[in-house]
Amino acid sequence: METEHIVTSFDEDLGQLETMISEMGGMAEVQLSDAIKALVSGDAVLAARAVKRDKDLDNFESEIGALAVRLLALRKPMADDLRIVIAALKISSNLERIGDYAKNIAKRTIVLERVPEIGDAVHSLIRMAGLTQAMIKNVLDAFSLRDSEKADDVRLRDEDVDRLYTSLFRELLTYMMEDPRNITPCTHLLFMAKNLERIGDHTTGIAEQVHFMVLGETPSDERPKGDGSSMIVSRPANSGKAEPK
Amino acid sequence: MTPIAVQSNDLEPTILKTGQTPRPERRGSSTEKETITHARSITARGVNVFYGDKQALKDINLDVQSNMVTALIGPSGCGKSTFIRCFNRMNDIIDGCRVEGEITLNGENIYAKGIDVVALRARVGMVFQKPNPFPKSIYENVAYGPRIHGLARGRAEMDDIVMSSLDRAGLIDEVRDRLDAPGTSLSGGQQQRLCIARAIAVEPEVILMDEPCSALDPIATAKVEELMDELKKNYTIVIVTHSMHQAARVSQWIAFFHLGDLVEQGETEQIFTNPEDDRTQAYITGRIG
């Protein structure tokens, strides 16, 4: 099959759209990586940089939106071309949200000032971050390579992030119940964990867009989910009842 | 939405199998989906067409459903116009043209011996690329067909046919006070709608349209497209168009031709978002012409 359009400027526009998505994805990766590094090292300057970077991602999303609208209006894309444009619009929105969550993590790092030494919580958080970062990297590769299998694999791995989040939720809850002085740092860590969990969800959203872009259909099977935090109920210790599983 | 009546004919409406033959038109939200069955109007089986030694169409199988717009698309020379002309035996008048296979119109083989071709062309009307009104008045353009087919008894009935045909073609308000003016005095878009009025005046079962809008401006094109949407409630429409966006706008079923083959057919939405064949994909995305 011919791979190039008769109108070469159409290819250039589509190529530009793909490049912009890859660049934006790279920026989101760096932003999250800086936020996590700042958390580990307590580096407020790095954290501030990650916060500042979010504006660039917002601008990128607007530019991708404008290019997509121009492509739709002037080129009237069909079939796989149409799917790329639609997927790019949605992926840019997912990446923008990932940027927002990375910014939030960085902001809380600044508030915390130093790494709280509460059990193993920070390490669990870093492990969770490592998982989401790998997911983002793989989903961006899947987009560039138009590899739906790779995208499907990313989609399934969100369950691991969810599981880690649920276990971290329990862990932090325990620390808070143990000593009220833990409540402030644990709450920040909990929000960070929630941010990472949401980043996982948006990465899964990107994976679904890649699947649609390549195959022309949305993934039909219900993916496994591991976030059970909404089912966890905490009762005061003197109530005489154990925390339900 | 207005339920679409299945065209009355001797055949029972066919319950169609998903993915094999056209599914009913879908409109509105999924909650108000209605189950509509469409009867097959035209059925083509194993159609081969030759111009002398050259084979223009190869083993074409297609069901045209009634009360739907079926669009034939494909690059120039792919055979789509040749195919549409088989439906009213327009190819008969081309020297050296030979049609093999079977084409039935509501169950009747239109290539069978003893078929009255003139009567067939009244059942299967045609609108061409360039508006071609007769050099007669607007009234006479529409009255001509019903007159030669003896459809009106007296002037009053003929007036009814002419006025209702102009009405259904969306032209009546523009010509009501000048029915005696020559058809050629109308604008291009009006002339095309006059040709449509002329075609529907003899109450055809099918209307064939071969590039009906390629000589029209966007406003006139929009009016003809709106008209097609309206006409499909009562007629079966087959359109050949070079404009994929027109096919996307007006049709419910698409057949893509390439080098004499019917490469792929399917619901319009599916063909334009996720075609199965690489050749269809390449054509509709502008990679092959």
What are the structural domains, with CATH classification, of chain B?
A: 37-140+205-284 (3.40.50.300)
pLDDT at A115: 65
pLDDT tens per residue, range A184-207: 999 999 999 999 999 999 999 999
**Domain for residue A2, yes or no?**
no
Please indicate whether, in this complex, the C-beta atoms of B281 and A83 are within 8 angstroms of each other: no
Token couple for B159: 């007036």
Please indicate whether, in this complex, the C-beta atoms of A216 and B244 are within 8 angstroms of each other: no
Domain assignment of residue A230, given as a range: 8-239
Q: Are A89 and A64 in contact (CB under 8 A)?
A: yes
State whether residue A80 sits within 8 Å of chain B by CB.
yes
Task: Considering only residues B166 and A113, tell me which one the structure prediction assigns the higher pLDDT.
Answer: B166
10-residue block means of pLDDT along chain B (289 residues)?
Answer: 40 40 41 52 94 94 95 93 94 90 93 91 92 95 93 92 92 93 93 93 94 87 90 94 92 96 95 93 86
Q: Tell the residue number behind the tokens 């966006």, with chain if given.
A: B245
Q: Is B282 exposed, middle or buried (0-12, 13-18, 19+ CB in 10 A)?
A: buried
**Domain for residue A122, yes or no?**
yes
**Domain for residue A146, yes or no?**
yes
Here the CATH number for the domain that contains residue A156 is 1.20.58.220
DSSP character at residue B2: P
Please indicate whether, in this complex, the C-beta atoms of B286 and A5 are within 8 angstroms of each other: yes
What ipTM, to 2 d.p.?
0.70
**Domain for residue A3, yes or no?**
no
Cα B223 to Cα A231, B69, B103, B229, B230: the distances in Å are 59, 16, 31, 10, 11
**Domain for residue A244, yes or no?**
no
Please indicate whether, in this complex, the C-beta atoms of A5 and B281 are within 8 angstroms of each other: no
| pLDDT above 60: residue A235 | no
Distance from CA of B112 to the nearest CA of A (A): 41
Phi-psi region of B96 (alpha: psi -120 to 50; beta: other; left: phi over 0): left
| pLDDT above 50: residue A245 | no
**Domain for residue A235, yes or no?**
yes
Token couple for A189: 């860590």
Q: Are B193 and B172 in contact (CB under 8 A)?
A: no
Query: How high does pLDDT run on average in chain A?
Result: 89
pLDDT at B17: 38
Q: Radius of gyration (Cα) for chain B, nearest Å?
A: 19
State whether residue A1 sits within 8 Å of chain B by CB.
yes
pLDDT tens per residue, range A131-150: 999 999 999 999 999 999 99
Which of A86-95, A212-221, A229-238 is the most confident on average?
Answer: A86-95
Residue of B nearest to A77 (CA): B285
Least CB–CB distance from A5: residue in B272, B274, B287: B287
Q: Are B68 and B232 in contact (CB under 8 A)?
A: yes
- Tally of domains in chain A: 1
Instruction: Name which of A72, A56, A47, A50 is nearest A23 in CA terms.
Output: A56
Interface of B with A in 201-260 (CB under 8 A): 244-245, 248
How far apart are alpha carbons A24 and B257 in whole angstroms?
A: 41
Task: Considering only residues B5 and A173, tell me which one the structure prediction assigns the higher pLDDT.
Answer: A173
pLDDT at A2: 58
**Domain for residue A148, yes or no?**
yes
Token couple for B129: 């690329």
Q: Is B248 exposed, middle or buried (0-12, 13-18, 19+ CB in 10 A)?
A: buried
**Domain for residue A35, yes or no?**
yes
| pLDDT above 70: residue A216 | yes
